[in-house]
């Protein structure tokens, strides 16, 4: 089977004013944080084009209490697992680690199934809104997401024969929080569910990363800090960012520096959308533009044949790669 008093002394008016001013400053900072989190979750969870794609076949990869963890899998037309094993894609949605839905990548998965690959989009346990009493103060709430992602990848590999995928050619990825999750699930040897069949590892052959949310705060917990697990054996990756995305400037910058220090920058393709912010890939024409570039990336790896079948939008937008412009109309 597929398996967040005064001390009582009198206060002079200036002190009251100072305290009031300080409180306003604190409240402003808190408001900005809340707005940022809300915006991140909203953008990540935006389900552009999901209605344009059919639903895939749902499989349960894990059962926790009364909750089934599911992945939705898309197969090529007339796919016969008994006669052909093809590369597999496994995607993790965004939503600030505490929200979102797997349908975010339904469009992507359907597209790549039409190109001959098996592709899955995964539901995982969402991070709690507040730290549980049991959790240590140094433990990130993001841990639970990574554990489920590791379970999903192991299930995918364990059932590779029944699904008709080549376990040596699995591509992982995700959007924002999902990009972070996919990177940690495949590079961190820890955070395993003891119920998993651990003889199946969680390494992958390549990555499709849409504005992965890597931040300096992750350094407080080594289990969720990608930089502490990034090594020179990182598989090839294509990474998409909007030029105005704060995660590019404040998060990916450190990762990029380490990638360069490890001399593996040539295997990490960075594509930038000028003037765009976080989650830009969730809306057209950028949805198709990024998919076309992802298609070319996979073809270069030998995972696809022929040209992308998506029609390139005629609005003139382009993605930039380092110092040269990638002409997505070619």
pLDDT band at 246, cuts 50/70/90? very high
Residue 24: pLDDT above 70? no
Residue 34: pLDDT above 80? no
Predicted pLDDT of residue 53: 85
pLDDT band at 312, cuts 50/70/90? confident
Cα separations in angstroms, 291 against 105, 209, 263: 11, 11, 27
Residue 19: pLDDT above 60? no
Strand bridging mode 206-210 / 237-242: parallel
Q: Where are the domains of the chain?
A: 16-326
Predicted pLDDT of residue 130: 61
Strand bridging mode 319-321 / 324-326: antiparallel
CA distance 237 to 254: 16
User: Is the bond leading into 50 cis (omega within 30 degrees of zero)?
Assistant: no
Residue 320: pLDDT above 90? yes
Who has greater pLDDT, 21 or 137?
137
Largest CA distance in the chain: 84
Predicted pLDDT of residue 133: 55
CB contact burial 110-129 (16+ within 10 A = b; e otherwise): bbbbebbbbbbbbbbbbbee
201-219 tens-digit pLDDT: 999 999 999 999 999 999 9
> What residues form DSSP beta bridges with 270?
239
Write down the architecture of domain 16-326 according to CATH.
3-Layer(aba) Sandwich (3.40)
Q: What is the mean pLDDT of the chain?
A: 86
CA distance 7 to 96: 39
Predicted pLDDT of residue 49: 56
Who has greater pLDDT, 99 or 15?
99
């Amino acid at each position: 089977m597929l398996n967040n008093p005064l001390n009582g002394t009198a206060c002079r008016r200036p002190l009251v004013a100072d305290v009031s001013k300080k409180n306003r400053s604190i409240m402003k900072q808190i408001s900005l944080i809340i707005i940022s989190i809300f915006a991140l979750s909203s953008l990540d969870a935006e389900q552009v084009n999901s209605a344009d794609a059919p639903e895939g076949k749902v499989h349960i990869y894990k059962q926790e209490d009364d909750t089934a963890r599911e992945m939705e899998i898309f197969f090529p037309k007339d796919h016969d697992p008994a006669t052909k094993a093809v590369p597999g894609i496994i995607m993790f949605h965004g939503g600030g680690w505490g929200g979102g839905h797997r349908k975010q990548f339904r469009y992507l998965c359907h597209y790549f199934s039409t190109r001959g690959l098996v592709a899955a989009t995964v539901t995982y346990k969402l991070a709690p809104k507040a730290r549980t009493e049991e959790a240590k103060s140094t433990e990130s709430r993001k841990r639970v997401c990574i554990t489920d992602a590791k379970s999903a990848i192991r299930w995918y590999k364990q059932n590779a024969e029944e699904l008709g995928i080549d376990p040596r050619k699995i591509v992982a990825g995700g959007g924002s929080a999902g990009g972070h999750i996919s990177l940690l699930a495949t590079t961190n040897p820890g955070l395993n569910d003891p119920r998993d069949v651990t003889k199946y590892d969680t390494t992958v052959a390549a990555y499709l990363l849409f504005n992965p949310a890597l931040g300096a705060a992750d350094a407080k917990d080594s289990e969720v800090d990608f930089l502490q697990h990034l090594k020179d054996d990182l598989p090839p990756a294509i990474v998409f960012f909007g030029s105005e995305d704060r995660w590019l400037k404040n998060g990916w910058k450190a990762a990029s520096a380490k990638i360069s220090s490890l001399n593996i920058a040539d295997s990490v393709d960075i594509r930038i959308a000028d003037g765009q912010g976080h989650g830009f890939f969730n809306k057209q024409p950028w949805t198709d533009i990024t998919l076309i570039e992802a298609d070319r990336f996979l073809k270069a790896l030998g995972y696809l044949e022929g040209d992308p079948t998506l029609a390139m939008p005629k609005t003139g937008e382009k993605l930039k790669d380092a110092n040269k412009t990638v002409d997505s109309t070619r």
